[in-house]
Chain A
Amino acid sequence: MSFVLTDISKTYRSGRKTIEALKPTSFSVEPGEFVSLIGPSGCGKSTLLYIAAGLEEPTSGTVSLDGRVLRHPGRERGMVFQNYTLFPWLTVRENVRFSHQLRANIDYTRPVGEILRDSAYVDHLLEIMGLERFADSLPRQLSGGMKQRVAIARALANRPRILLMDEPFGALDAQTREEMQELMVLLRLHERTTIVFVTHDIEEALYLSTRVLVFSAHPGRLIEEIAIPFPDDRTLDIKLEPEFLRLKRHLLDLLHGGSRTGFDRHAILARLKGEPHTNTANNT
């Protein structure tokens, strides 16, 4: 009973060259898990998420939910995009209930009571997202953080089995970002949402996840899988705990360690001071 990605790979063709964006990668997500995909840009984590959502086709491999292979996007996988992607002509409430008026989600045989429960669920989502005062506002009147809360509510209104999130807080300022992270913790506690989350922010991944998958770039590949030992009910305080800091250091080493980033501090310092250039990496 889970969401399984098997041997997913992606290669692009540009001219005569083929670029390997993602080496064959497999992982599965169990109900209630919060799995983060983390890595530098170009590591294929977003590509992997889009493939999981059915929005991109993998070069090889399959995506399945409870043993059923999924080839196209569908209501069982909700998605939250990096750029809000709200429908600007609809109010906040109309955005959140957008999925309820799509054919795939209308079951005419359902009793009226259940349909009413849908609209009650929209109200509930607006409430827990702190949006009830803005229910009739238009997206352009909202701040970035609020827009993203609407996008999350819109995806949840459809009651997806799994929520896929592509760097959802990447465009937010640091403070709004932390607020959204706290909101995600509470949301998971109360809605028991299963989430796959793409980010390049190490702290964010550690704070939110039950499991972190670390990717490396050129070619994109899964290099390590780390279980996060903190309880589900977390506060921002855990960011200061020794275990959190130990994991953070470990991830920093994995992602930015050695000369992997190509950033040579000594060489730049020497150039800034006007000293003759010595490449320390080569000399030692």
Chain B
Amino acid sequence: MGTGTSLWQTAIGVLRPRAPLPTAIPWLAIAVGFGLLLLTWQLASNHYAGAGRSVLFPSPEAVWKSAIHYTGSSPDSVRDRTTLFTDLGASFTRVALAFVLATLVAVPLGVLMGALPIFEKLLQPVSEFIRYVPVPALIPLLIVLFGIGEAPKIMLIFLGTVFQLLLMVSDEIRRVPNDLVQACYTLGGHWDEAVTKVLFPAAAPGIFDAMRLCQGWAWTWLIVAELVAANEGMGFRILKYQRFLLTDKIFVYLIVLGVVGLVMDVLFRLAHRLLFRWQ
């Protein structure tokens, strides 16, 4: 059969490494991926519902209803919506402050580390060491040192990202072809000009990409920080809802976190494309 072989051929073609996909197949695959996620979710919730404990694991439908509730106009809906935006605002502020702080520290130091071998020897082994200290293990110490206000949370996110960013920035600087630096020298450039006019602009797209990745990790550390001691924030609210078994609301918060992460990622990618047209 003609169609039979062509379908077969499509199936085989899709499995060829690095082969371009025929039109519509990518969208189909994305839809199937999310479909599988929903299916797994539904099956899992069925399992709990069968035991009469559907409150432990709400079905996709229950979460959808809860999400709709957040858009409603009843006093309950308004209150929950206000809470969500307050939580999101508090969390976003923490991530933003810590991320800006980490960038301000890691980018200049990383550039120096990548450009000057003496700074590499001075900072690289130390950074590698600290990077492998699990950041949550620092929470008790941070609380002792900074109390339970905003400071320990921001410090936790800062510590969780700054060393990663530092190492990635220095790697990006080291990846710049030596030819470009030599060209700068033969044109009369001094060492500082080799850094500011060649190494940094050449590595800037990679550095920006590293910042995008770190921004994602910052949200992970945020939740860890808020689980411990807070009055508001996404992580705090999720813990609170756990206490009252409001699992459908937990799911709404999880979805919001996923969407925020995705939006941030897309914004970084867009900015990247605008800033570095030369690539």
A85 and B187: CB pair below 8 A?
Answer: no
Q: Which of A72, A73, A89, A158 contacts B278 (CB 8 A)?
A: A89
Cβ-based interface call for A55 (8 A): yes
B276 and A155: CB pair below 8 A?
Answer: no
Cβ-based interface call for B82 (8 A): no
The stretch of B17-25, B34-42, B188-196, B249-257 in contact with A is B188-196
B183 and A79: CB pair below 8 A?
Answer: yes
B188 and A55: CB pair below 8 A?
Answer: no
**Chain A: which residue is nearest B186 at the CB level?**
A79
185-213 of chain B: CB within 8 A of chain A: 185-190, 193, 197-198, 201-202, 204
Q: How far is the CB of A104 from chain B (nearest CB, A)?
A: 4
The stretch of B99-107, B145-153, B174-182, B234-242 in contact with A is B174-182
Contacts of A54 in B (CB 8 A): 185-186
A85 and B278: CB pair below 8 A?
Answer: no
Q: Which of A53, A88, A89 contacts B186 (CB 8 A)?
A: A53
B180 and A87: CB pair below 8 A?
Answer: yes
A73 and B202: CB pair below 8 A?
Answer: no
Compute how far the CA of A284 lies from the CA of B278 in the bound complex, rounded to whole angstroms.
Answer: 62
Compute how far the CA of A30 lies from the CA of B16 in the bound complex, rounded to whole angstroms.
Answer: 62
Contacts of B187 in A (CB 8 A): 75, 78, 98-99, 102, 105, 154-155, 158
39-81 of chain A: CB within 8 A of chain B: 53-55, 72-75, 77-79, 81
B190 and A104: CB pair below 8 A?
Answer: yes
Contacts of B177 in A (CB 8 A): 83, 85
Compute how far the CA of A158 lies from the CA of B185 in the bound complex, rounded to whole angstroms.
Answer: 12
Q: How far is the CB of B108 from chain A (nearest CB, A)?
A: 20
Cβ-based interface call for A138 (8 A): yes
**Chain A: which residue is nearest B205 at the CB level?**
A89
A55 and B202: CB pair below 8 A?
Answer: no
The interface residues of chain B, by DSSP majority, are classed as helix
B201 and A102: CB pair below 8 A?
Answer: no
A75 and B188: CB pair below 8 A?
Answer: yes
A103 and B202: CB pair below 8 A?
Answer: no
Using an 8 Å CB-CB cutoff, how does the interface string of A122-154 with B read, 1 for contact, 0 for none? 000000000000000011100000000000001
Compute how far the CA of A158 lies from the CA of B186 in the bound complex, rounded to whole angstroms.
Answer: 10
Compute how far the CA of A138 lies from the CA of B277 in the bound complex, rounded to whole angstroms.
Answer: 9
Compute how far the CA of A53 lies from the CA of B278 in the bound complex, rounded to whole angstroms.
Answer: 29
Compute how far the CA of A154 lies from the CA of B183 in the bound complex, rounded to whole angstroms.
Answer: 10
**Chain B: which residue is nearest A88 at the CB level?**
B278
Compute how far the CA of A104 lies from the CA of B184 in the bound complex, rounded to whole angstroms.
Answer: 11
Q: How far is the CB of A181 from chain B (nearest CB, A)?
A: 22
Contacts of B189 in A (CB 8 A): 99, 102, 104
B278 and A138: CB pair below 8 A?
Answer: yes
Q: Which of A55, A101, A154 contacts B182 (CB 8 A)?
A: A55
Q: Which of B198, B201, B278 contacts A140 (CB 8 A)?
A: B278
A85 and B179: CB pair below 8 A?
Answer: yes
B193 and A87: CB pair below 8 A?
Answer: no
Q: Which of B179, B182, B185, B276 contacts A89 (CB 8 A)?
A: B276
3-41 of chain B: CB within 8 A of chain A: none
Given known pairs A89-B202, A138-B278, A140-B278, the reply for A55 and B180 (CB within 8 Å) is no
Compute how far the CA of A73 lies from the CA of B276 in the bound complex, rounded to whole angstroms.
Answer: 30
A99 and B188: CB pair below 8 A?
Answer: yes
Q: How far is the CB of B231 from chain A (nearest CB, A)?
A: 46
A78 and B186: CB pair below 8 A?
Answer: yes
Given known pairs A85-B177, A87-B202, A140-B278, the reply for A79 and B190 (CB within 8 Å) is no
Q: Which of A55, A85, A102 contacts B193 (CB 8 A)?
A: A102
Compute how far the CA of A103 lies from the CA of B190 in the bound complex, rounded to whole angstroms.
Answer: 8
Q: How far is the CB of B35 from chain A (nearest CB, A)?
A: 40
Contacts of B193 in A (CB 8 A): 102-103
Contacts of A85 in B (CB 8 A): 177, 179-180, 182-183
Given known pairs A89-B201, A89-B202, the reply for A81 and B190 (CB within 8 Å) is no
Q: Which of B182, B197, B277 contacts A73 (CB 8 A)?
A: B182
Compute how far the CA of A56 lies from the CA of B202 in the bound complex, rounded to whole angstroms.
Answer: 23
Contacts of B182 in A (CB 8 A): 53, 55, 73, 79, 81, 85
Compute how far the CA of A88 lies from the CA of B204 in the bound complex, rounded to whole angstroms.
Answer: 12
Contacts of A105 in B (CB 8 A): 187-188
Q: Tell me the B residues contacting A by CB distance below 8 Å.
A: 177, 179-180, 182-190, 193, 197-198, 201-202, 204, 276-279
A-B contact pairs, 10 of them (CB 8 A): A55-B185, A74-B186, A77-B186, A88-B202, A89-B278, A90-B278, A98-B187, A102-B187, A104-B190, A105-B188
Give 8 nearest A-B pairs by CB, closest first: A75-B188, A104-B188, A79-B186, A73-B185, A99-B187, A85-B179, A89-B278, A85-B183
